[in-house]
Amino acid sequence: MTAERTIVAGGGPGGMLLAYLLARAGLPVTLLERHRDFDRDFRGDSLHPWTLELLDRLGLTDRLLALPHVPARQFRFRTPRGVVTTTDYGLLDTPYDYVALMPQARFLDFLAAEAAALPAFELRTGAAVTGLLGAGTADDPVRGVRLRSGEELAAGLVVAADGRFSRIRSLAGLTARSQGATTDLLWFALPHRDGDPPDADVDLFLGTRHYVGLLGGPGRWQVGLSLPKGGYPALREAGVEYVRREVAERVPWLADRVGLLTDLNQATLLSVDISRVPTWHRPGLLLIGDAAHVISPVGGNGILMALQDALAAANHLVPALRAGTVGTATLAAVQAEREPAIVSVQAQQVRIERGVARARERGRTITPPAFVRLLMRVPAVRRRSARGNAYGPVPVHPSPELERALGLGPAPVPA
């Protein structure tokens, strides 16, 4: 029996990985990306140890890491009272004891090229979904999608991986509920120069009104200035000179190049969101990644959560698609497996958001509490923090059925 086509809408990390896994398992899949390419600025660039280990199992990591990237081995808070290292990936027992910072477009291009070699994979760019087929009511199964061009594509299953502003989620009548974000971020890029601190790869520079997030990458720094939610109009009124001054005050060694930011139109406003959909599915439709739950950029967990969603979905979908029985129970099982991790990550991020908001409202320096600063001096605590960030609160592993479908050998036994 030939399996029906699966449509994955959205060529971000989660959608790309799921499409690759389905195609590698020999299941026909069409990946729809509404843009013509994957080259958008200020998307997450963090590939965690879990991701690198999974790609290694798939035989992809060596080729991926041959591409330009920056290995980040620690996460730090830079405060007026000194540096607080909260996470030390170098303490992990893995050959990938770091986060690989790589432009997301480069990662997606790589994975798309690997998938293109699989006969069951089809990528269609410039393919924006404008309607769902067969979804007259919430109980009617989704049977495919309608594109902006007017073309209709039938499918046995549609997976929405089309991001935080998911069009498919809206078309399906599903609504994300906010968990309470209090911050926005203004992102822009500055060049990396010889002599820049070698350990400044994933840092938060804390201050009274704002913090500055710094993310390294090949040839550039991504710089994020925090704002109170809804504070962008006031920032525009203050002007670009205010932004340059705030960044230079917190990160003095960037003062020699903040002048390259000459207009706020060079920056991108990221409205931070922490939200999730109560039910990630309806008949014939599954939501994963930001379409199902939006993760704050703090901690760089968004890509990790989306990729783990994709693997969990593949674990459940591959045997069901092969049997021709992707029912509601299968889709519900994906959510049941992944939701505890999402709830845990979002709860931690909400606590951080509220702490930042309280400090900002009281005019105090945004800084970790004294007991946290003391705890982080203990290597075992930094290792535990690294493990939680590297693998997520509920790690996902390929199921035996998926491993067989992908042609993988036995999983390595931990040392």
Q: What is the 3-state secondary structure (H, E, C) of 244-257?
A: HHHHHHHCHHHCCC
Give the domain CATH number at 280: 3.50.50.60
What pLDDT shows up at residue 42? 52
Q: Which residues pair with 184 in a beta bridge?
A: 227, 271
What pLDDT shows up at residue 412? 62
Domain check: are 214 and 356 in the same one? no
Domain check: are 314 and 299 in the same one? yes
66-120: pLDDT as tens digits: 999 999 999 888 888 788 888 999 999 999 999 999 989 999 999 999 999 999 9
Q: Identify which has the larger pLDDT, 379 or 30.
A: 30
Sign of CA dihedral 390, 392, 393, 395: negative
Edge-to-edge order in the sheet of strand 281-282:
121-125, 29-33, 6-9, 157-160, 285-287, 281-282
Asked if the model's pLDDT at residue 3 lies above 80, the reply is no
User: Does 411 reside within a domain?
Assistant: no
pLDDT category at 186 given cuts 50, 70, 90 is very high
What pLDDT shows up at residue 413? 53
User: Does 412 reside within a domain?
Assistant: no
Domain check: are 399 and 378 in the same one? yes
- Asked which of 215, 241, 271 is the last residue of a domain, the reply is 271
Sign of CA dihedral 322, 328, 330, 334: positive
Check: CB of residue 5 under 8 Å from CB of residue 64: no
Q: Which of 283, 398, 281, 301 lies closest to 343 in space, CA to CA? A: 301
Domain check: are 80 and 13 in the same one? yes
Asked if the model's pLDDT at residue 371 lies above 90, the reply is no
User: Does 123 reside within a domain?
Assistant: yes
Average pLDDT value for residue range 373-393: 89
Domain check: are 311 and 162 in the same one? yes
What pLDDT shows up at residue 43? 62
What pLDDT shows up at residue 83? 87
Neighbours of 252 (CB within 10 A): 10
Q: Identify which has the larger pLDDT, 316 or 42.
A: 316
User: Does 235 reside within a domain?
Assistant: yes
Give the SS3 label for residue 340: helix
pLDDT category at 208 given cuts 50, 70, 90 is confident
Average pLDDT value for residue range 182-189: 91
What pLDDT shows up at residue 298? 72
User: Does 415 reside within a domain?
Assistant: no
Average pLDDT value for residue range 284-290: 97
Buried b (16+ CB within 10 A) or exposed e, 391-410: bbbbbbbbbebbbebbeeee
Check: CB of residue 228 under 8 Å from CB of residue 184: yes
Q: Which domain holds residue 210?
A: 183-228+230-271
User: Does 246 reside within a domain?
Assistant: yes
211-263: pLDDT as tens digits: 899 988 888 999 999 998 889 999 999 999 999 999 999 999 999 999 999 99
Domain check: are 58 and 165 in the same one? yes
What pLDDT shows up at residue 411? 65
Domain check: are 364 and 313 in the same one? yes
Residue identified by tokens 């997976």 is 159
Check: CB of residue 158 under 8 Å from CB of residue 132: yes
Counted domains in the chain:
2
Domain check: are 280 and 235 in the same one? no
Q: Which of 129, 96, 100, 142 lies closest to 11 in space, CA to CA? A: 129
Domain check: are 266 and 292 in the same one? no
Domain check: are 32 and 159 in the same one? yes
Asked if the model's pLDDT at residue 323 lies above 90, the reply is yes
Q: Please tell me the pTM assigned to this model.
A: 0.93
- Asked which of 256, 271, 286 is the last residue of a domain, the reply is 271
* Bridge pairing between strands 29-33 and 177-178: unpaired
For 390, the token pair is: 């590297």
Q: For residue 218, give the DSSP letter.
A: T
pLDDT category at 51 given cuts 50, 70, 90 is very high
CA dist 143 and 31 (Å) reads 16
**Percent share of the chain, pLDDT over 70:** 96
Secondary structure of 17-68 as H, E, C letters: HHHHHHHHCCCCEEEEECCCCCCCCCCCCEECHHHHHHHHHCCCHHHHHCCC
Asked if the model's pLDDT at residue 41 lies above 50, the reply is yes
User: Does 1 reside within a domain?
Assistant: no
User: Does 81 reside within a domain?
Assistant: yes
Mean pLDDT of the chain: 91
125-152: pLDDT as tens digits: 999 999 999 977 777 899 999 999 999 9
Domain check: are 155 and 192 in the same one? no
pLDDT category at 415 given cuts 50, 70, 90 is very low
Domain check: are 200 and 313 in the same one? no
